[in-house]
Chains A and B, each alone.
Chain A
Amino acid sequence: MNIIITISITAFIVLYAGLFKAKKALLPLTVVGLLTALGFTIGAWNSNAIHFGMMQTDNFALAFSGICIVGTLLIFLLTQNYFHAKSDNVAEYFTLILFALAGMIMMVSYKNMAMLFVGLEIMSVSLYILAGIRKRDFASNEASLKYFLMGAFSTGFLLFGITLIYGATGSFDLDKIQAYLVDNSKAISPIFYPGVILMMIGLCFKVGAAPFHFWTPDVYEGSPTLITTFMSTVVKTAGFAAFLRLFAGAFGPLHEFWVQPLIVIVCLTLFIGNVTALFQKNFKRMLAYSSISHAGYLLFSLIVLSANSENNVLVYAAAYTFASIIAFAVLILVKQKTGSDSFESFNGLGKKNPLVALSLTVAMLSLAGIPLTGGFIGKYLMFLNVMGDYQMLLVAFAILNALVGFYYYFKVIVAVWFKDGADIELVTPTQYKLVLLVSVAITLILGIYPAIILNLI
């Protein structure tokens, strides 16, 4: 509860600071607010408090809140020289990102469907504005309109699902829904099943899993790069936490019913994400498709529900978030210098910018899943979990897709180190260096000592 209040108050203070033209104070205020929220998150560890029967800050919620807050903090540090060059109203960007973060904290800690809906909408409405915040840029307009129409459409599915489940169980409370499923395992109301499927469709739209992924590449490509970073890392993590809380928690007893459509969704997502990423010529669009394929790996953990499922998703989401932040930070730097985000502009980057190129290499290795990086541990845990249930075909399919992924991630590494290019020298501000170093450190620590996060939840 304190976490949400702190973040919301920070958002208002930042808005007022913008009103009084205190531009220098915006970033320090935000950072202080987020660090306070992070302090509350750590302080509430193991408390497992329930707030008004609406939200439950158990360790699951706190761990995901922590990832979201740290990720947002790093993204805020990337705003140096980013918004200031394009707009005078920087405070609005900060406020909207903070409001979206408040919505995400609600999404990861809900105990009542109403809070899921409210949190999701707070997050989405802020993101619709952020995607289209460059008013004169046509790509940004288009991204915003597409995101808005698809978002509103998927909310409709989610709500119809919630309604049918309410009709069957008479409650919005997750614990009561689970109790209903356990008590009436032989005579579950027939309207419960379409409810589950509709909620699955609605949430798959939000996290960008195939076949509901078609908006993702366009929106990610059209939005300002910093907002894309936010959408494809922190927002995605929160979406999966919400998905997991609902399906592994409340709908857990009905696992046999919803696992079949889920397997289809996972296989489609992995296949479409990886194969389309192969053909991209634009780095930003490639990252968008790679985020679709990672959505597939994240959903993979739900195929076999075990005590470790939640922790596996946490490890994978952390590894993916920090590796992607590095990739997008480098993309912002390259685009500021060359004005293009195609693969060619990365050629020969390693000669003059060893730090940036090395961070990008670590990020690509982690996204591909090479040992000693966080991404490997994430994938390993996911596959191990499903292997435990002897679903060999599925694991083989996923590993095959991971191999396809190697190709397009290594293409970037080859371009950076071995191809001859224009020998550009990037201007790397201090804050960017800080973000790159912190993210690389987290990625490597996760890969070498996974024990620190492995039994967290």
Chain B
Amino acid sequence: MMKYRLGIDVGGTNTDGVLLDREMHVIHSLKTPTTSDVESGIYHTISKLIAESNVSAKDIEFAMLGTTQCTNAIVERKNLNKVAIIRIGAPADNAIKPLAGVPEDIKSILNNHTYIVEGGHEFNGEEIAPLDEEKIREIAAELKGKVDSIAITSIFSPVNKTHESQVETILREVLGEDVSISLSSEVGSIGLLERENATILNASIIKVAKMTAEGFEHALKSNGIHAKVFFCQNDGTLMSKAYTLKYPILTVACGPTNSLRGASFLTENKDAVIVDVGGTTTDIGVLVKGFPRQSSIAVELGGVRTNFRMPDINSIGLGGGTIIRVDGENFTVGPDSVGHRLQDEALVFGGATLTATDVAVALGKVQLGDPKKLQHLDRQLLSNIYQRMVEMVEEAIDKIKTSADDTAVIFVGGGSVLLPDKINGASCVLHPENGGVANAIGSAISQISGEIEKIYAISKENRQEILDGARQLAIEETVAAGADPEKVEIVDMENIPLAYLPGNATRVKVKAAGDLALA
């Protein structure tokens, strides 16, 4: 009997859906407009997919959702949780208070219960000061009934997270299971202010994550689907619902990641630059060994400086709906766009606005709408505009590359039909079939991952044995999370020696990923 998996990607303009079989063949794909409540848009995409493909709802065994709702909640400051902020680090860390430099409109929502408590660790993992447990108990009593989410950040917790874990235990004793607790060591890396901000943002979107997850489950159930449900994180792997409700911030920017992974899958190319052309923007990212390259600098989210893991994406204001303004021989390209109103406003569709799509249609690059509506436009001017659009993409590709060598370039996304087959800086240009729904495909093919992080005393003699053991642990984690034991591989491994600790203490971090185990 055939079994299927369902991939959904909710973008700002469209909700894309795709059905794959067990051999990962695309059975059917489509786009519907994203709705303001999101859930009904997801519901329509699913029911349309089932109806048009004739796949039986009960044969869908996995359902994956990639969504921007958590990002939107932060950007729009909507439905955010009541958060308490606990920083463990006094006497250090007092010179800059939590949420310093954060925009006032979000600060006023989040800054009502803030504490700095004694504790924290040095860079080598030694205690700066013992954790003030008494103070934590007092805080817990004070917070009872006042907040539903707590963000905990301790100095050098990426090296030693014992104080964060101790605080969590005490808070649970007093407050029970009803509050959500976010630990910074799970969210970000070294850089206290940025990691703390990311942890606070995480704590603020727990409610939104819950609504999103339950909405997805509801949309599935209403369509008669009883699949195992997963959520996409921004490194191209999946999270269970339970983990998503604890660390929803990891879903931020999963859309571009899914496009990159989908493009890789469709072209069987693991190292390439991916250009995802949407209605308003073009997102450009880099695939390294099949996974998105991570950004190495502080990333702003809703105006807040953070440092959690994010794909390195260069966005430019060019898409199918980009507005072109002409003044004699001069013109400007965007950055604004008619967005999802393309079907009403573009000249080829009988509208009154010259868009990037019109330029491509007029020059015969793509066939859409009624080209006769464009006959009055000057050819030379049009080809100048088109050339400028191509240059914008070439320049953006060049900025994200790490060397001057030409690289494979893959065009995906609904607007990618506008772009040519040849481009400067590309060794080859690929326009894969189904590239328009690469993001939903990326969501559907996502793998399961598992990660371990431990401090070991490593010597020359036991080095190999310890690293092998750590790899094995990561693989076991991944299998336990639902991966096929035959298809798990190590995707990332770091070992960082910690100076000034006896016995060559080394922090070992291993990440494994593999395909979902089939029932």
| Genuine A/B complex | no
